[in-house]
Chain A
Amino acid sequence: MNKKILIVDDESHLRFLLEQTLEDLEDYDIEIETAENGELALKSIQEEKPSLIFLDVMMPRVNGFDVCSQVKSNEDTKDIYIVLLTAKGQEIDRLRGEECGANKYLTKPFDPDEIMEIAANHFGVELDF
């Protein structure tokens, strides 16, 4: 398993927050990459092959749902664990998230601890909080 996490969000503050939240994992040789939109994210996924993606839904041009369904429909990348992050806590969005194959769906504002827990579980890392 590739020890890489990709953070995709068009808001630099949130990318920064997620990076900070997960930076403790760098001690375990886990790399953290970021992308600021869907296109870059897809490019980065092809090149870096991360095993965990935190993906914002609301992004210009290629949104999170589209990125997610592309990743999940590609044989090479379909096993990537995708966590969708959205501010639109609507039922329909959750359903769309499930439809495009996301592994988890978090509504903003999310708890940094929860993000950390997901990542730690994914890589099998035991952290002391």
Chain B
Amino acid sequence: MTSTDGFENKLAVTISLKYKFALFSSALILCVCATLSLFLMGQIEDELNRQIRLRGMSSITNFSQNVKYSMTTQNRAFIKSLIESEINKEDVHHVIIIDQKGVIIGHNNPSLVGKRITDEYTQNFLENLNEPTYRKIPTSSGIKVYDFVMPITESDIYTTERYSNPIEARQRMQEGRNLGLLRIGISFEKMETSIQKTYSDVVKITMAICLVAIILAFLYGKVVSKPLIEMTRIANRLATGYLDERVNIQGTDEISVLANNFNTMAQSLQESRSNLWKLNKDLEFMVEERTQELLTAYAELQELDKLKSSFLSTVSHELRTPLTSILGFAKMIDKQFNRHIIPNLPEDNKKTTKAKNTIGTNLDIITQESNRLARLINDVLDLAKIESGKMSFNFEELQLEQLFERAFNNLHSLTEQSNIELELKYSHTKPALIKGDRDRILQVMTNLISNAIKFTKDGRITCRVEMKDDWIQCSVKDTGIGIVEEDLLKVFDKFQQVGDTLTDKPQGTGLGLPICREIIEVHNGQIWADSKPHKGSTFYFALPFDQSNPVPETVKEVTFKLEDKLDKMEKSEYLILIADEDEGVRDLIKVSLENEGYRTIQAVNGKEAYDLAREYPVNAIIIDIMMYDIDGFDTPHYLKSDDLTKDIPIVLLSIILNQNHEMVLGANTYVTDPIDAEKILDRLNEIVRDTHSSLSTAKASFVGFPRNNRRAYTTELKNMGITVEHFDTSVQFQRSLESDLPTAIFIDFKDFDLSPNQFFKMVKKLDRTKKLPVIAVIHAGQVAQVIDAAPIKGLCSTIDVTNSINELFGKRIRG
């Protein structure tokens, strides 16, 4: 499994949900508070203004009631007393009375009385004001006062009630003559101060509320998003391959339900992944089985092929010997007949003459047919040799045009007797050079041309050499009888002579074209034909410039290269080296192998095994796989890297003797270092398959495994639902065996406190545990490679050992 790469989570969380929630809530709260404060402050402001207006207007109206008569009468003393009583009010800042001419007739500052006003502000009021009004003005003392201004008109004084003459009164009122101005300055400082204080209180309270609300919003956001964040984290872990992760959320709300469903989903994901793995492994297993069957079938085929060619070789030899006699004696008869009989025959006897001629013809036929038989035998042998890969080809640089010329010369005698013109055509200027076997290519050319001659009564045979992209194409074109389309493919098959064999007597052996095809295919080329009946045929062959780059297109049959014959050595000629630290094991193997007929020598450690293998002509080495772990000498590595010993086959085994001195399998099988989840799962799967249990409920105990590498495979195993336990010491491990037994034990002896022998004896001693599958880690590089290339099965009895040795040398078990 390609672990986690495929599931990398591309969408990382950039802004957390809780921040989004908090930000949104805070903004909302801020808006609400701001609106409320503004509204409140507006209300207060309005109220303040109303109060100021009320207070000011009532003051100035009252005052004007009191003062207006005095203004007409210019009773300054009275005005002064009025002003004094007014100014004595706590908040009154100034009182000013001005007549229509702009002369101050009353002022809280008596020194100013009688003076004219000069400031534009008052002047302006005097000229334009009709209604009482007020505005806020700064004063010389720095504080701001509300200056209430009220115009005094005649109509204020001359009301209808007050005049005895209503007409005069009405006239006067209509005039509404302006009598002057009243100004009263009132300071609302206290009120404003208190309002300011209220304002700042409102702002403070608002801010406090906002702050609390925002904090609450954050807290709530966190509470709400916490399970979601947790689920996101778990989902990420799942996506990156940690399928054993689960969300832990309690509760009854929607999120808890979601979490539950999420867990169920993860569970089924884990199960289906485990199933998928198992399925995959089973499939691999099946494929392996089928491959094995195929290999067996292939080996049988090879054996058959070998038999076939040896049969052919023998048969052709057996055929040639009598053929030699037939041909030889035919020739002798012919010679002696011509030399001694014919001269003595009466010339006038018709019958004798006829018989003489018949005998001559018959002898010719015997010779011809014998020669044909000899050719046939040669062709059959040639074909068998090429097919079995036994024909040797001498590759050299060839010039195809030259070869065609040579073929023409060879066939000169054939064309001389017929009406056939031979020609060679090529358009290229530089010679067409390829790598090939001169004699064989010439054989192909001769064959194709002689075929063409054979099927052409008169006409032209054109040979052509053409350069193509990566190959050279040659063709032999005739104007003969041609071949019908359905026969075109058959012409390259053995013993297929096209046409009706009853009427057209075959002239050749029927093997020429098959031989051509074989030769061309050995050259990585192609051969094919094109023809139209009665128009002629063209035979092509194409050869690559570069032998490693075959001419493309068309199907090729696989030519089985036959292996050399099995070594015919006797068993007693084999010397087998047994290397094991345990003398009992060595002796048992020695006895069984020697009973079988082999000779043996023994080594007690790896170094000795290596030395002995160099010294003696050893044919095979049986070596304890754990031995290098004990003496630290990587024997297989040294054996495989020494030219003297590198070709000696090594049989690895792990056997211990139990109390009864019987052989017991040590480790069932091995994983090679560096280990990964894949290898562990492979082994585990084999064991699970053998015991018909389920991979997803398996329990694996890891004993003595280094801590640094554990995580990598542990996660993967947990993803499959496999329970994983680690033990660092033998004591821990032994204690664990007292409770629940694991499905399989993986052991790494490298830094473990027990030797392989001690460990296996401990496990195999108890009835409970002796059947437990043990998988040992193999560290040494060379051994690891040997094992990875051909995983060894458990060899647990002397029969297994002898069988494997017999198999190695292709012998059958005796008896």
Contacts and interface: CB of A to CB of B under 8 A. Distances in A.
Contacts of B321: 11, 14, 87, 108
Interface string B296-338: 0000000000000000010011101111111111011001000
A120 interface: no
Contacts of B331: 111-113
Contacts of A111: 327, 331
Contacts of A110: 324, 328
Nearest to B331: A112
A108 B324 contact: yes
Contact of B317 (A20, A58, A91, A113): A58
Nearest to A23: B332
A90 interface: yes
A90 B384 CA distance: 11
Contacts of A108: 320-321, 323-324
A91 B392 contact: yes
Contacts of A87: 316-318, 320-321, 324
Interface in A71-94: 87-91
Nearest to A110: B324
Contact of A88 (B313, B324, B374): B313
A87 to B, nearest CB: 4
A14 B324 contact: yes
B324 A89 contact: no
A21 interface: yes
A83 to B, nearest CB: 14
A4 B489 CA distance: 57
A109 B332 contact: no
Given A11-B321, A14-B324, A87-B324, A109 B374 contact: yes
Contact of B325 (A13, A58, A88, A91): A13
Interface string A1-24: 000000000010110011011000
A119 to B, nearest CB: 14
A17 B317 contact: no
Nearest to B385: A90
Contacts of B442: none
B337 to A, nearest CB: 13
A92 B329 CA distance: 29
A108 B374 CA distance: 9
Interface centre among A88, A91, A111, A112 (most CB of B within 10 A): A112
B227 to A, nearest CB: 84
Interface string B377-410: 0100100010000011000000000000000000
Nearest to B327: A109
Contacts of A109: 320, 323-324, 326-328, 370, 374
B378 A20 contact: no
A11 B321 CA distance: 8
B370 A20 contact: no
A111 B320 CA distance: 13
Contacts of B329: 17, 20
Contacts of B327: 109, 111
Contacts of A11: 321, 325
A65 B125 CA distance: 155
Contact of A89 (B318, B328, B370, B381): B381
A17 B316 CA distance: 20
A29 B433 CA distance: 56
Nearest to A20: B332
Interface in B330-382: 331-332, 335, 370, 374, 378, 381
Contacts of A18: 328
Interface centre among A14, A89, A113 (most CB of B within 10 A): A89
B402 to A, nearest CB: 24
A89 B331 CA distance: 22
Contacts of A107: 320
B378 A17 contact: no
A38 to B, nearest CB: 17
Interface in A30-48: none
A17 B313 contact: no
Nearest to A88: B317
Contacts of A112: 328, 331-332, 335
A89 B378 contact: yes
Interface centre among B313, B317, B321 (most CB of A within 10 A): B321
Contacts of A91: 391-392
Nearest to B328: A17
A42 B325 CA distance: 25
Contacts of B391: 91
Nearest to B392: A91
A18 to B, nearest CB: 8
Nearest to B336: A20
A91 to B, nearest CB: 6
A112 to B, nearest CB: 5
Contacts of B326: 109
Nearest to B330: A112
B646 to A, nearest CB: 29
A7 B332 CA distance: 17
B388 to A, nearest CB: 12
A14 B332 CA distance: 12
B742 to A, nearest CB: 61
A92 B320 CA distance: 18
Nearest to A107: B320
Contacts of B374: 109
Contacts of B381: 89-90
B312 to A, nearest CB: 11
Nearest to A9: B321
Contacts of A17: 324-325, 328-329, 332
A124 B323 CA distance: 30
Interface in A96-120: 107-113
Nearest to B332: A20
A112 B318 CA distance: 19
Contacts of B322: 13
Given A109-B374, A110-B324, A90 B332 contact: no
In order of increasing CB-CB distance, the 7 nearest A-B pairs are: A87-B320, A109-B324, A17-B328, A108-B324, A87-B317, A108-B320, A13-B325
Given A17-B329, A90-B313, A109-B328, 20 more contacts: A11-B321, A11-B325, A13-B322, A13-B325, A14-B321, A17-B324, A17-B325, A17-B328, A17-B332, A18-B328, A87-B316, A87-B318, A89-B381, A90-B381, A107-B320, A108-B323, A109-B323, A110-B324, A110-B328, A113-B331
Interface of B: 313, 316-318, 320-329, 331-332, 335, 370, 374, 378, 381, 385, 391-392
Interface of A: 11, 13-14, 17-18, 20-21, 58, 87-91, 107-113
15 contacts: A11-B321, A13-B322, A14-B321, A14-B328, A17-B325, A87-B317, A87-B318, A87-B324, A89-B378, A91-B391, A108-B320, A108-B321, A109-B328, A112-B328, A112-B332
